[in-house]
Amino acid sequence: MIDWNPLLLTFKLAMITTLLLLIISIPIAYWLAYTRSKTKPVIETLVSMPLVLPPTVIGFYMLVAFSPANAFGNWLDNWLGLRLVFSFEGLVLGSLIYSLPFMVHPIQAGFANLSPSLKNASYVLGKSKFTTLRKVLLPNIKPSLITGIILAFAHTIGEFGVVLMIGGNLSGKTRVASIAIYDEVEAMNYSAANTYSMILFGITFLILLIVYLINGGYFKRSHYND
């Protein structure tokens, strides 16, 4: 029988990460979609970096930054009681950065594909930017929101490098499923590794299938205003 903890931990991590990402990504995507600021390319690049950077690089720098051995990590530790290396909180932060583009990109595309007159019409009707976002823009980019949620969730389940660097391999604390698989293989325990792998395979397949069924494509836009 396998240890179910790594799987539970994986889904707990994926759920918390996805929820936080949704909250963080809506304002970022909104800003990126509508800004005319010259800093936009820089912010856009930073958001997209995790797509191309080896996860170990992100993990490595986070490990260095948050280690209590240096100033910033020490400050976090002393003042906020927050130790981000080899802890679940650290995993969440790492996952947030690692999966950020998968949440921001679909939402940004959703905003950009909405006709600007929807926003303008709402403003002319006297509605604030926030009301317009809540009542007009977000309800009309639901497919993009769903795509973002599911991709970020699935991507967090699949992460390995960041988690290994910053979280290590502490049973019940930071040993997520992908690490557990690696661990079992190292220990020549192929049948347990296979069970974990099969479960992850099945679940991620289902998740992606749902995305395709709902949207008919990764970043399919909503065709309301054509």
Partner 1 sequence: MEVTSKDLITMIELDFQKILKSSSGEMILNVKLDIEQGKLVTLYGKSGAGKTTLFLILAGLLSPEKGFVKVGNEIWTDRAKNIQLAAQKRNVGFVFQEYALFPNMTVRENLVFALGKGQSEKIVDQLVEIIDLGQLQDRNPVTLSGGQKQRVALARALVKKPGILLLDEPLSALDHEMRTKLQSYILEVHNEFKLTTILISHDVSEIIRLSDFLVEMDHGKIIRQGLPSDIFTNDRVNAKFQFTGEVIKMVKQDFIVIVTVLIGKDLVKVIANDKEAENLRVGDRVMIASKAFNPIIHKII
Closer by beta carbon to partner 1, 4 or else 224: 224
Residue 127 found at the interface with partner 1 (CB under 8 A): yes
- Whether 50 and 98 have beta carbons less than 8 Å apart is answered as yes
Residue 117 found at the interface with partner 1 (CB under 8 A): yes
Residue 125 found at the interface with partner 1 (CB under 8 A): yes
Residue 35 found at the interface with partner 1 (CB under 8 A): no
The number of residues that bind partner 1 (CB under 8 A) is 18
Residue 140 found at the interface with partner 1 (CB under 8 A): yes
Residue 18 CA from chain centroid, whole number = 6
Figure out which of the listed residues 126, 188, 191, 213 binds partner 1, where binding follows CB under 8 A: 126
- Whether 95 and 162 have beta carbons less than 8 Å apart is answered as yes
Residue 78 found at the interface with partner 1 (CB under 8 A): no
| Phi/psi of residue 159, nearest 5 degrees | -75, 150
- Whether 199 and 176 have beta carbons less than 8 Å apart is answered as no
Residue 115 found at the interface with partner 1 (CB under 8 A): yes
Whole-number minimum distance, CB 40 to partner 1, in Å? Answer: 18
| Phi/psi of residue 76, nearest 5 degrees | -60, -45
Residue 122 found at the interface with partner 1 (CB under 8 A): yes
- AA identity, residue 223: H
Residue 135 found at the interface with partner 1 (CB under 8 A): yes
Closer by beta carbon to partner 1, 79 or else 226: 226
Closer by beta carbon to partner 1, 135 or else 171: 135
How far apart CA 77 and CA 83 sit, in angstroms, is 5
Burial 53-68, CB ≥16 within 10 A → b, else e = eebeebbeebbeebbe
| Phi/psi of residue 8, nearest 5 degrees | -60, -45
The stretch near partner 1 (CB under 8 A) out of 3-11, 37-45, 96-104, 126-134 is: 126-134
Where along the sequence are the contacts to partner 1 (CB under 8 A)? 115, 117-118, 120-128, 135-136, 139-140, 224-225
